[in-house]
Amino acid sequence: YHHIKDKDHYITTEVGQHQMWAAQFLKFEQPNRWMTSGGLGTMGYGFPAAMGVQIAHPDALVIDVAGEASILMNIQELSTVAQYNLPVKIFILNNHYMGMVRQWQELLHGGRYSESYSESLPDFVKLADAFGAVGLRCHEPDKLDGVIQEMIKIKRPVVVDVLVDEAENCFPMIPSGAAHNEMLLGPDDKAGKVSEEGMVLV
């Protein structure tokens, strides 16, 4: 956050763990700087929202905080940002999973993982280059600040692929079908388990 706090910036997000972390760790001093699909949980929301924000505020820093699965919903729009030279920044927190889905499956469904692992992902750096954008990658935490600074300096569309821990969970979370007063505040909280009968449906 300290790299962008003094800049005219807007944040959009896709939907998933990355969205929750962005909400927890980014700060906003002005209204209407945070665009997210908070209620409906629409994967793929953040990138087109970022494009619209960038058109409305051409001189602002616009960052879409994304996950590797959500961004694939409409990554073809890199063609649009390249064509119109919209300097949108896509900041991908890449854990090779649909992270919230994996987390539900781990915590609530006995580790019965189904269709949440992204084994076959594109090389986001090469993909950015193919669309005429700039691609950056970060594997090491001690290099992240430098990659963020580089991303901010580039006056073109940028895709940053940040590899993060595949098993990290995001709290607090509300289990599927639960009320707000049943939220899990941390890894030691216990949620109701799916019954044997219910497992047939999962």
Q: What is the pLDDT of residues 75-111, one digit of tens each?
A: 999 999 999 999 999 999 998 766 676 666 676 666 6
Tens of pLDDT, residue by residue over 146-174, are: 999 999 999 999 999 999 877 777 788 77
pTM of the model: 0.83
- As a residue count, the chain comes to 202
CA 74/CA 88 separation, integer angstroms:
14
Taking a C-beta distance cutoff of 8 angstroms, is the pair 88, 54 a contact?
yes
Q: Quote the tokens at residue 143.
A: 């290099």
Pairing of strands 34-35, 9-13: parallel
Q: Which two tokens stand for residue 163?
A: 């590899």
Q: At what angle do helices 17-25 and 99-108 cross, to 10 degrees?
A: 100
Domains of the chain (ranges, CATH numbers): 9-171 (3.40.50.970)
- 175: tokens are 């289990």
Q: Where are the alpha helices (DSSP H) in 77-143?
A: 78-83, 99-108, 124-130
